Amino acid sequence: MDSRITTRTKAAASGTRLAILLTATGLLLSACGFHLRGNYEMPAGLTSVTLIVPDQSGALKKELELMLKRSGVSTDGGDTQLEVTREVLTKQTATVDSSAKAAEYTLLYAVDYRISQLDAKTEGPVQKLILRRGYQYDSTNIVGKSTEEETLVQEMRQDTANQIVRQLRSYTPATGTPAAEAAKTPASPPASAPATPATPAPAP
């Protein structure tokens, strides 16, 4: 009887120590700025966006919706618009074997998108992302290689969505500019002081 109680006590103590360790680890990672993929702190006021994605890019749209949701941003509509204008996946032969048959393929995944401010009635610049993945081809294992290719494509979509949402994190809804650029913008002179006229740069 005593041995069973002792065993249970040790197990409970071990579980408590594990919980404390996991909590401490989570706090440490958070303090270091670590976030789960797609879990970003968005600018104040950016709680919803208008998401526009071509019909044929449904898989990418799902990844974007998931990562935006993790970051506390809904896609129910908003003054900030995230638009995917192009998604292209191509497969190229990277190397061939002694029989001149494909031995390795390269996958190229390209996505164009832009972030705009609807209330400003202006479209943001188109930004481009290109991801590349390679894999060995085995004609004796067509099913396995097909599965590997699908997995790589899915990973590229996730990485692309992650990068787009990360870019959205630096977006300032009020001005339509990245937060880093907004921080560099000099403040306007006080109303009581006349503005100093700019000196034109010399012609090259």
Residue 22: its pLDDT value, please? 47
Q: Where are the alpha helices (DSSP H) in the chain?
A: 2-31, 58-70, 142-169, 179-184
- Residue 22 to residue 107: CA distance in whole angstroms: 38
Distance (Å, rounded) from C-alpha 105 to C-alpha 94?
5
Q: Where are the domains of the chain?
A: 49-170
Q: In what order do the strands lie in the sheet with 127-136?
A: 50-52, 80-96, 102-117, 127-136
Give how far Cα 9 sits from Cα of 17, 22, 66, Å: 12, 20, 42
| pLDDT tens per residue across span 6-33 | 555 554 555 555 445 444 444 444 444 4
pLDDT band (50, 70, 90) for residue 1: low
Residue 202 has pLDDT above 70, yes or no: no
The 10s digit of each residue's pLDDT in 150-190 is 999 999 999 999 999 999 988 766 555 554 444 343 444 44
pLDDT in tens, 73-118: 999 998 999 999 999 999 999 999 998 999 999 999 999 999 999 8
Q: What architecture is domain 49-170? A: 2-Layer Sandwich (3.30)
* pLDDT given for residue 135 in this prediction: 96
Indicate whether this model's pTM tops 0.75: no
What confidence score (pLDDT) does residue 161 get?
A: 97
What φ, ψ does residue 115 adopt, rounded to 5°? -115, 125
